[in-house]
Amino acid sequence: MEGKTERITLSIIIATYNAGTELEACLASIAAQPLRNMEVLVMDGGSTDNTLSILQTHTMPQLRWSSGADEGIYDALNKGIAQARGTWLYFMGADDRLLPGFAELAVRLKDPHTVYYGNSEPYYGAQQPGMELLSGPFSAYRLAKHCMNHQAIIYPAAAFRKYRYNLRYRVYADYALNIMLWGDADLKKEYHAFTITRYNMTGFSAATDDKPFKTDKLQLIRRHMGWWMYMRMRWKQLKKRLQGEPDFWDPAARP
């Protein structure tokens, strides 16, 4: 992370809004990584707390930031994508923390057309554990059933020459993106059993429903993973409805 002319291989993009209580610790967890050729982009939504003063005085090399009104988390991330110089991109919130396993995975980034991913450690704070944070390798079928953790993934920049986060989805635009990527045969997927981040389970996604994504999910699967996967997921949804079983992803179910 030294020298402005140094070639950037990894861009870490953070979306923030009034995140002053969390941002210092987040940046410290990044600075603790023994990695070079890395930049950090903080895309702030126009904070009114001390977020900007932290960014203005921070001495982290290759830290860049901007602040202004946006249309939410994924709009901020899309703006970061447009500015990123890295061959690989990683996304996190100010309330997430990188762990030593992040560097272990980062040094294994080789193929610029491969999605690399590991595991996340859930953080519940004072709350009782609720939704499970899935780990381990994902097949297209497992992904069609369940969302994987966004912060467990390091994406090739090549993926964003074809795709962006869809702002129709306030919470699960990352899930929609992953459905597209796992259905794209031009992009390999490679799992490594490193725990790369501590993910805050009490953030925005835990408290916000995303009915548009739930409504569109099966059609996203059909469009990007094919008719067979669509019919398989459609049958599972109908079966749960008939049996009266809860289905988090069913748009007809209560959030």
Backbone angles phi, psi at 137, to 5 degrees: -70, 150
Q: What is the C-alpha separation between 145 and 139, in angstroms, rounded? A: 10
Give this prediction's pTM: 0.93
In this predicted model, what pLDDT tens digit does every residue of 118-155 receive, in sequence order? Answer: 999 999 877 666 677 899 999 999 999 999 999 999 99
Average pLDDT value for the chain: 93
Flag whether pLDDT at 3 surpasses 50.
Answer: no
Distances (CA, A) of 126 to 94, 99, 120, 198, 221: 18, 21, 19, 15, 36
At 45, list the tokens: 């939504």
**210-237: per-residue pLDDT in tens?**
999 999 999 999 999 999 999 999 999 9
User: Residue 7: which pLDDT band, with cuts at 50, 70 and 90?
Assistant: confident
Output the pLDDT for position 208.
Answer: 75
CA distance 179 to 163: 11
Residues 224 and 127 sit within 8 Å (Cβ to Cβ): no
